[in-house]
Chains A and B, each alone.
Chain A
Amino acid sequence: MRSTTVKNGERLYLRYAYNDLSRNKGVNAALIVILILSAFLMATGSMVIERLAGSISRLSEQGKPPDFLQMHLGDYDRAALERFAADHESEIAAWLVEEMLGFDSASLTWERPSTGENGDLAASRIDNLFVTQNAEFDFLVDWTGGVVRPAAGEVYVPVLYEQQYGLTAGDVLTISTDAGPHRLEVRGSVKDAQMAASLSPSSRFLIHPEDFEALARAGGAVPEIIAEYRLTAGSDANAIQTAYEGAGGLPTNGQPVTGQQLRIISMISDGLVAFALVFISLVLVAIALLNLRFVISGSLEDEVHEIGAMKAIGIPDRAISALYLTKYSILALVACVVGGLLAVVAANALTQSIETSYAQAPVGIWTFLVPLIALAAVYVIVVAICRGVLGRVKKIEVVNALVHGSTLDEKQTARRAKREARWVRRTGLASSSGAGVNRRLALLDLRAEGRAWVLVPVVFGLTAVLITLPANLVSTFESPQFVTYLGAPERDLRADVQFQQGVDDVKDRLVAAMADDDRLTDVQTYAYVDYSADSADGRARLRVEVGNHVDGAIRFSQGGLPQDGQIALSILNAEKYQVGVGDDLTIDDGDESITVQVSGIYQDLTAGGQTAKMPGEVTEGASAYTVFADLADDGADPAGIADEYGEQFPTAGVKPTQEYARETLGVLIDSMRGAAWIALVFGLGVAVLITSLFLKLRLTRDRPKMGVLSAIGFSANEIVGQVRTKTLLVVAAGTVVGLVFAATAGQSLASAALAAAQLGITDLTFIPNPWLVYVLYPLLLLGAGHLGVALLTAGIRRADKSQWL
């Protein structure tokens, strides 16, 4: 008997929900679209993150990348490396020295014998390193995960080149060496666990040892090595890095990297869009919840008579709430199912390039659980909020509902009457005239019913944050001033003389040439000198940039420029050496120890965020040099001059400073630009949708008022104008608040996110594109509001006005 009653009850709820859904198609359609978008983005983001993490792990299992590596250019002492390995036998499971031959992109050309097509790789900005397959770990693998071993005369190209240039099996790759061209047949592509990240500055070509020997003999390549270490379980890569840097005599002329850093950089460069999707979906969920609250409150007020009647005949509050809750549960469930299914398609498309660069992630329990948990979270939150709002059913009093059609009790009604009386006391309508009457009425409405309209400014505020935050990040990273976050002054040209033999000679000739060049002014040299100092994990190497550091070129978060006897440290280095401004730090260059005081801590993205600066002049014996120069003529083309110097000093890496920034951040900026576009499209779509949904409900409730206005002589155009004025005012208010929030708190949020990523920036100041963020985007948002008004007020002109009364 009981189960029959329950079943009948459930059927009734479902029937009620179905009837309601079919009766209010517009509102329900808008609601479900927002819910689907929220669920879709949440599921897509979580799926992509799970797939990316899986792909990175999979490739890591196949390729076995090192847990710690040190790049090096120049001679090295193999015996010292063996001693270091022996000293750390318990921590090091395996180690190797990989020899590499670096060729400039311009020296690589390709042809396709089958079609006669050909081309070169000159446009590539990536370092091209030719290597042989390793024996124990750090393997280059094919798409099945198999360790590839090319035969003599064969080459496997990085996946990136296969994607960008279409290099494929059967093509011929020609390397220009000093001894002439060396031809290799492309046999396929290889995936590289160590250099797979889009942000990675280099990539590896796999060749046979015979070809390697031949290329080494032929000349024209820059030989480099990587000392690589696989650690035993439980060993700390940072501790090994510190031990390595403090050991002395080991090759250190290059970048040290830990496995963890490789993983983070992969997640950041290839997962940024996915993280952005999750962020967008969180904003959408917030918008959807606000909307649901508004819609449910409206439904309760509209159907208060029916609710009163149900209460009067003894239907319990829970059963009445369940009538409404069923509908929203169904909407949320359908949204999660549809959003989830759409997410499968979208995630597949988004993970294709990830799987190409990394590996096909194994399908496991988490592959299904992660998006399911994300979707379940959306469903549970939506239903919980609906249940909370429906709690108001309990407070509705039967008599007030039936007689006065009010959801309020007597006390609330009295309070409301008092409030309204206060509002109307000084309306002062008599003092307005002309077109002002319409504007005045709109303003009075807004003033009195502000609470009912609050949904729109909140949604537009959130949307403004949603679309301006990524746009601000893109413009900041693209800004010419951003180089100061790269620890570099805002100068026209930059030359890096580093990681090679004879740096002093190259630097001296370059500086002399630049000083004689009338087109250049203010040539300045900074030297990189290696010291060691005590860090949290023991003795570690500290590379210090010595030169004439100037104000404004560095983004100090604390303190300022170093004077004599002082040093400025990057944020990550200040953490590493556990010092703050005013503290002393003892540094040792191998010959002598000096104690310097920390003058300031600054933000720096370069060299893994680990840099230091001291004043002074070092003309020889440094590990590397950076030379900066300005153009004498502001209108001159820095790229042309950089190219000239590049030909004259091929190992000096002369570039316009802006290009240096672009190379460092290009991939990141591209990812962020993608995220910014997604945010813009979704944001504007949601803005139109919410405006339409809000107005649909608002106009329905305002019908009596519009009927009165129509009866006393206000035309449909004037009534629509009032709606437009109100809407655009709240849209503008929300947009302004959103923009201010994005520029202030949003900036702090972005800084916190960057700080969490351990990139070396903790305090980012946005450099917005004012036309975009403060002109175009607000106009687009106003346009979205306007479109919503146009769509929803179209029916007003045609309506029989008496039906509104």
Chain B
Amino acid sequence: MSQGTVTLESRELSKTYYSTDPPTEVLLGIDLSVRAGEFLVIMGASGSGKSTLLYSISGMDKPTSGNVTLEGRELTSLSDAEMSNVRLTRMGFVFQQPHFLRNLDVRDNILLPALKGAAKGKDKDAAIARVDALMERFGISHIKDHGITQVSGGQLQRASICRALAGEPSVLFADEPTGALNSSMSDEVMDALTDVHRDGTTIVMVTHDPGVAARGDRVIYLRDGALVDANEMGPWQPDTAQQREDDLLTWLRELGF
């Protein structure tokens, strides 16, 4: 899909949790368009619905109403198996906690979606070579045989990015990817994500950290389940980083952040 065209779109997206009394309306009819190759950041106070929005547009959760399309394909009407296949082949995920399988070493954890994809027809050897290359690129090939309890949080999160990229997704979803890391590890991870974005991968990221959000091309702001404003910031450059962060903070303060 060419740069600039809308790749992911939600219309009238609502989500209500009926397990609470009274039911909690978390998303109130969100209209959102994500352009191909864009790095979109979702911000908002705790409980504003930003993670729910991320999981609803990525098909992890089913919205209560509204619809989501990815590359022109309606996601909300897909079956569980079809949606799983979309996640496998078109999406990648990075979570706040790395969420790796304890029974696999780092490399096998990264390989898992690639192997799963290979089962769906992609070439397995190519997938393995791609994973090895990704680990090399993100500086974690030396820990490939390690158990996940034997490596640092930053290494794990970079491994998480490798796993998300293993299936060559068109969109990478990241939910507070630096939320559990210290500042130096946080920078490692954001450098990695910025690298991925430069390669042309679309990124949708949730964060509450303005420093991290400054990496994005565009920041949208959610309040009580509604999209209240958006800030087009353009491509990130290392030399303007501080300026972007200050501008973003000013904008956020105006929104009551």
Interface residues of A (CB under 8 A from B): 416-417, 420-421, 423-425, 427, 429-430, 432-437, 441, 444-445, 447-449, 704-705, 707-708, 710-718, 797, 800-803, 805
Contact = CB atoms under 8 A, between A and B. Distances in A.
Contacts of B80: 715-717, 797
Given A708-B101, A712-B163, A417 B119 contact: no
Nearest to B96: A805
A715 B120 CA distance: 13
A273 to B, nearest CB: 47
Contact of A713 (B61, B113, B145, B150): B113
Interface in B124-162: 124, 128, 145-150
Contacts of A445: 103
Interface string B60-89: 111000000000000000001101110111
Contacts of B145: 425
B95 A424 contact: no
B205 to A, nearest CB: 15
A467 B4 CA distance: 68
A410 to B, nearest CB: 13
B208 interface: no
Closest 8 CB pairs of A and B: A713-B88, A715-B84, A802-B55, A421-B147, A448-B103, A424-B105, A800-B61, A712-B113
A256 to B, nearest CB: 69
Contacts of B103: 420, 423-424, 427, 444-445, 447-449
Interface string B88-106: 1101010101011111110
B84 A802 contact: no
30 contacts: A416-B149, A424-B102, A424-B103, A424-B148, A427-B104, A435-B119, A436-B119, A437-B115, A447-B103, A448-B103, A708-B100, A710-B84, A711-B87, A712-B87, A712-B112, A712-B116, A713-B91, A713-B116, A714-B84, A714-B116, A715-B81, A715-B85, A716-B84, A800-B62, A801-B55, A801-B61, A802-B52, A802-B61, A803-B61, A805-B99
Contacts of A423: 103, 147
A713 B115 contact: no
Nearest to B59: A801
Contacts of A421: 146-147, 149-150
B118 interface: yes
B167 interface: yes
A716 B88 CA distance: 13
Nearest to B84: A715
B219 to A, nearest CB: 22
B37 interface: no
Interface on chain A toward B: helix, strand, loop, or mixed SS?
Answer: helix
A437 B119 contact: yes
A364 B61 CA distance: 65
Contacts of B178: none
Nearest to A704: B99
A708 B94 CA distance: 10
Identify which of A433, A708, A715, A718 gathers the most chain B CB atoms within 10 Å of its CB: A708
Contact of A707 (B91, B99, B147): B99
A715 B95 CA distance: 19
Contact of B149 (A420, A449, A705, A712): A420
A715 B81 CA distance: 5
Identify which of A449, A705, A715 gathers the most chain B CB atoms within 10 Å of its CB: A715
A427 B119 contact: no
Interface residues of B, number: 45
B60 A802 contact: yes
Interface of B: 51-52, 55, 60-62, 80-81, 83-85, 87-89, 91, 93, 95, 97, 99-105, 107-108, 111-113, 115-119, 124, 128, 145-150, 163, 167
Contacts of A429: 104, 108, 111-112, 115
B102 A448 contact: yes
Identify which of A417, A713, A716, A717 gathers the most chain B CB atoms within 10 Å of its CB: A713
A429 B51 CA distance: 32
A433 B104 contact: no
A447 B167 CA distance: 27
A427 B95 contact: no
A425 B105 contact: yes
Nearest to A416: B149
Given A707-B99, A711-B93, A433 B119 contact: yes
B60 A801 contact: yes
A389 B171 CA distance: 48
Contacts of B52: 802
Identify which of A420, A432, A435, A449 gathers the most chain B CB atoms within 10 Å of its CB: A420
A805 B58 CA distance: 14
Contacts of A425: 105, 145, 147
A423 B147 CA distance: 9
Nearest to B93: A711
B3 to A, nearest CB: 25
A420 B115 contact: no
A416 B103 CA distance: 12
A436 B113 CA distance: 13
A281 B84 CA distance: 46
Given A420-B149, A421-B147, A801-B61, A437 B87 contact: no
Given A449-B103, A710-B84, A437 B60 contact: no
Identify which of B60, B97, B117 gathers the most chain A CB atoms within 10 Å of its CB: B60
A433 B149 CA distance: 26
Given A417-B149, A424-B108, 17 more contacts: A421-B147, A421-B149, A424-B102, A441-B101, A448-B102, A707-B99, A708-B100, A711-B93, A712-B113, A713-B113, A714-B84, A714-B116, A715-B80, A717-B81, A801-B55, A802-B52, A802-B60
